[in-house]
Every structure is written in structure tokens, then in C-alpha cells.
Amino acid sequence: MAWTIGGIVAFLAVAAIGLQVAIARDGPAVLTAVDRISGGDGGAHLKATLATGDHPDQKLLIWAPRKSASAENPPRPVLLFVHGGSWNSGDPESYGFVGRAFVEQGFVVALAGYRLGEAGRYPGMVEDIAHAFAITRKEIEAYGGDPQNIVLAGHSAGAYNMMMVALQEKWLSPHSLSPQDIAGVVGISGPYDFLPLDSDSTKAAFGHVEDEDALKATQPINHINGDAPPMLLIHGEDDTTVGLFHSKRMSKGVAAADGTVRLEAYPEMSHTDPLISIAAPWRDRRDIVQQISEFVRQTGSTR
């Protein structure tokens, strides 16, 4: 029996290491597979994939309850989530775990893609998310979502993209919209103040901006204003990819401008840990899904 228990422990240890390696290589896709196996579908279903442009990266995946919306049910708040990946990788099709987690919480979820690499370098990726917001607002009612109650969320590079849309009028104005049409913002492990450019990913995405003032304008920290949508900032204290100081500076600046902001810093969490916490089985052991869900409900109740 002792040998059997030891063998089981060894097997679980090897499996855990293998899972960590798989997550490191293609984290979101692995998380979606693990989530589906361990958490079920939560009544969620991928309802549609909408093109938001001519490039294959420009797409919007709509997750909603498996049962169709009815006249008896009020429209659901909408979470529009933008994936990370250093502006050079990622696909919303790998983020089904986000759709399942938040549909189960009572929302309709839109997963936005944007042009990557050379095709999406600044300002392309920000323009794509502004367009994705406009299309979500136009189409989401057909899937049971409330077009007047859309919260923008994003992880890492995706948090940058959506934060720029939320802070500056110019991105949404071509669509006859403004940041005031955004119910709230959830930034997860986001980079908001990264000058000088000192990494391959930031140089590739922003290095072509040569004018000093124009380069400063690429930074969300330089567009803080008190009229920005309410913000929830989530960050791991052990994040060595995008330091906690990014969210701390953003939080401090928004508060100083009399804006609405809450920072949740998690001890012993890395850059990807908050994202992993959205997937089953981790989401039942951590409170990040609950924090985001409560924020979405609160912002909706004030509109």
C-alpha cells in the first residue's frame, strides 16, 4: 500500500510538472482544456464568431447561455475580454475558459481578437479593440447582452489595449462613441507605464514611434483623467514580467484625478496567476472571478 501511495504521489507530481510546462508553452489553450474537463460548461455556449475586419486576427467570439435569451429574461451585463501575448501572439479562440467562467456568473462574454505583430503595431491594436467594442455594442443584444452595460477587461498586452480605449476619446469617436459608453474597466497584470522601451515586445510594437511626444502619448499613464470609467486593477505582487508598479501608479493617478479605482494586489502571484485563477479548478480556490463579477454588477447598477 505504501508503494502504491508513493507511486500515486509521484505520478501526480510528474503530472503537475507536465501541466506547468504545457501552460508555459500554450497557456490559454491548455487552461481551456483543463477548465472544460474539470469545470463542465457552466451552461455556457459559443454562440457566434464575428469578423471585425479583413485580417484573420480581427474577430469577436460571443459566449452566452446555452439556452437562448427570452423576453422574460432581462439583458445580461457584458464582459468584453481582450487577450494578452506581448502584442505578437494569442487568439481569443484559446480563451473559452473566460467565456465559461463569466457566463456562469450571469454575463454575456465577448472575446476580442486584434491584429498581432507587424500588422497590429501601435496604433493598430488599439484601433482594433475600439472597433471590437463598437461591434459588441451593436450586436450583443441579439445574444442576450445589454449594449448599455459593457465592461472592458484585458490581461497583460490586452489590458494595455483596452485601457487606451477607455482613457482617450479619439479611439471611439470614429464609431460615434466615447469612453463614457464603457461601463467599467478591469485591468489584469497590465502594462501602463513602460518607457523607455526596453524589451523586444515593446520595441516591436512601439519602436517605430520616433517623435518623443508621440511616444509619450502611447502610455496609458499619460492619459489619466477623472472622467474615465470605473476601474478594477488586479495584479500579482510577484509579477516579474509586468511589475506591480504599473497598477500602483495607475491607481494612484486615477485616485488623484478623483476617478473611481480599486487595486487588488495578490501576494505570491506571478504575471499569469491571475489569469489561471479564472479557469477551473483554480477559480473555486481563489477569489478573482468573484472580484471581477462583483465589480461588473456594481458598475451596471450605477448606470
CATH number at residue 129: 3.40.50.1820
Predicted local confidence at residue 27, as pLDDT: 80
CA atoms within 13 A on the CB side of 211: 4
- Count the domains in the chain: 1
Any domain includes 7: no
Any domain includes 141: yes
By the 10 Å C-beta count (0-12 exposed, 13-18 middle, 19+ buried), 2 is classed as exposed
Residues 6+ apart with CB under 8 A from 86: 156, 157, 201, 205
Any domain includes 150: yes
By the 10 Å C-beta count (0-12 exposed, 13-18 middle, 19+ buried), 182 is classed as buried
Any domain includes 24: no
Predicted local confidence at residue 16, as pLDDT: 43
Any domain includes 229: yes
Q: Based on C-alpha coordinates, what's the Rg of the chain?
A: 19
Any domain includes 61: yes
Nearest to 144 by CA among 65, 43, 81, 60: 65
Each of the 303 residues of the chain gets a pLDDT tens digit; together they read: 444 544 433 333 334 444 454 454 558 999 998 988 987 888 899 999 999 999 999 999 999 998 766 666 889 999 999 999 999 999 999 999 999 999 999 999 999 999 999 999 999 999 999 999 999 999 999 999 999 999 999 999 999 999 999 999 999 999 999 999 999 999 999 999 999 999 999 999 999 999 999 999 999 999 999 999 999 999 999 999 999 999 999 999 999 999 999 999 999 999 999 999 999 999 988 999 999 999 999 997 777
Domain that holds residue 285: 38-301
Q: Are strands 261-266 and 231-236 parallel, antiparallel or unpaired?
A: parallel
